[in-house]
Chains A and B, each alone.
Chain A
């Protein structure tokens, strides 16, 4: 079963608006990562946040992590058409499983 679950499964907004995606997970983690995937392509790493961090920024991206609630959010500000893609969270569980576990993803569509 998937460790991470993204919410919503799909999101459609107008260009220029902010987009927020959420990820919930089940076990304790070492870190959480966000990836973007354009249709039919590979995943591109966006940001990594460690379990002892609460917030991280990278350009128009802002990621928060709440380990007490086992959840993370990805905020994309001032969205652009090029941000249209699927976004996945991936967790590194602190259970010795030794693998990244991906969620099902959020499909984001930016309308011009």
Chain B
């Protein structure tokens, strides 16, 4: 089975722009979660999608949004980028809605740099 695929691997954007990141979960997995990882804040939960519905949202401003398609692929969008949005964005999939007694399967992330 192919793993979780995130594209692009690297992105460089300027302040004020917007960006869209993509995540393809493991085949058969219906839950996709997004995390932001920075050296200062560690891994912070952004949101989770299950069966095309946002199930849970972390403490991030409305500039961060996402969606999930019928094939379980997910995208997250960040508008009006700020320097502090520079981070590694990780996507993780799971067969069922989180949390449950099963592990998350992570992609290798998208490294976003905002200049």
Residue numbers of A with Cβ under 8 A of B are 2, 30-31, 33, 35, 40-45, 48, 50, 88, 90, 92, 98-105
CB-CB under 8 A for A103 and B105, given A43-B90, A98-B99:
no
B42, B103, B108: the one within 8 Å of A105 (CB): B42
**Given A30, A41, A45, A50, which contacts B103 in the complex, CB threshold below 8 Å?**
A45
Contact indicator A33/B111 (Cβ below 8 Å)? no
What's the A-B contact tally at a CB cutoff of 8 Å? 62
- Please provide the chain B residues from 86 to 107 with a CB less than 8 Å away from any CB of chain A in the complex: 88, 90, 92, 98-99, 101-107
Asked whether A45 and B104 contact (CB < 8 A) given A92-B99, A98-B56, A99-B56, the answer is: yes
How far, in angstroms, from A42 to B37 measured CA to CA in the complex? 10
By the criterion CB–CB under 8 Å, are A104 and B108 in contact? no
A9 CB to closest chain B CB (Å) equals: 11
Contact with A along B27-63 (1 / 0, CB 8 A): 0000001010000001101001000000110100000
Check A42–B106 contact: CB distance below 8 A. Answer: yes
Separation in Å of the B15 CB from the closest CB of chain A?
24
- Among residues of B, the one whose C-beta sits closest to the C-beta of A100 is B99
Contact B98 A102 (CB under 8 A): no
For residue A31, which residues in chain B have a CB less than 8 angstroms away from its CB? 99, 101
B4 CB–A CB distance under 8 Å: yes
In the bound complex, do residue B42 and residue A104 qualify as a contact, i.e. CB atoms below 8 Å apart? yes
Q: Are A100 and B42 in contact (CB under 8 A)?
A: no
